[in-house]
Amino acid sequence: MKVLLIGSGGREHALAWKIAQSPLLTKLYAAPGNAGISQHAECVSIASDDINGLLEFALREKIDLTVVGPEVPLVAGIGDVFRDNGLLLFGPSKDTALLEGSKAFSKEIMTKYGVPTADYEIFTNVKEAKHYVIESEMPIVIKADGLAAGKGVVICESSEHAVATLTQMMDEKIFGNAGSKVIIEKKLEGEELSILVLTDGKKIIPLASARDHKRAYDHDRGPNTGGMGAFSPSMKIPESEIGSIIDIAVRPILEGMAGDGMSYRGVLYAGIMMTKEGPFVLEYNCRFGDPETEVILPRLCSDLLPVMVQIANGCLETETLEWYDKACITVVMASGGYPGSYEKGFQIRGLDSVRGHEDVAIFHAGTAFNAQKQVVTAGGRVLAVTAWGDTLKAAHERVYQVIPQIHFEGGFCRRDIGQKAIEVLR
b/e burial code for range 252-268 (CB count within 10 A of at least 16 → b) = bbbebbeeeebbbbbbb
Q: What is the mean pLDDT of each run of 10 residues along the chain (426 residues)?
A: 98 98 98 97 98 98 98 97 98 96 96 96 97 96 92 92 97 95 95 92 94 93 92 78 92 95 95 93 95 97 98 95 96 96 97 86 97 96 97 96 96 96 81
Identify the pLDDT of residue 83: 97
Contact 296, 304 (CB under 8 A): no
CA–CA–CA angle 223, 284, 244 (5° rounding): 115
Domains, the chain, ordered by start:
2-93 (3.40.50.20), 125-180 (3.30.1490.20), 191-312 (3.30.470.20), 327-425 (3.90.600.10)
Q: Is 127 left (phi over 0), alpha (psi -120 to 50) or beta?
A: alpha
Q: Is 122 helix (H, G, I), strand (E, B) or coil?
A: strand
- Cα–Cα dist 423/425, whole Å: 5
In terms of residues, how long is the chain?
426
- Cα–Cα dist 281/60, whole Å: 41
Identify the pLDDT of residue 213: 93
Identify the pLDDT of residue 16: 98
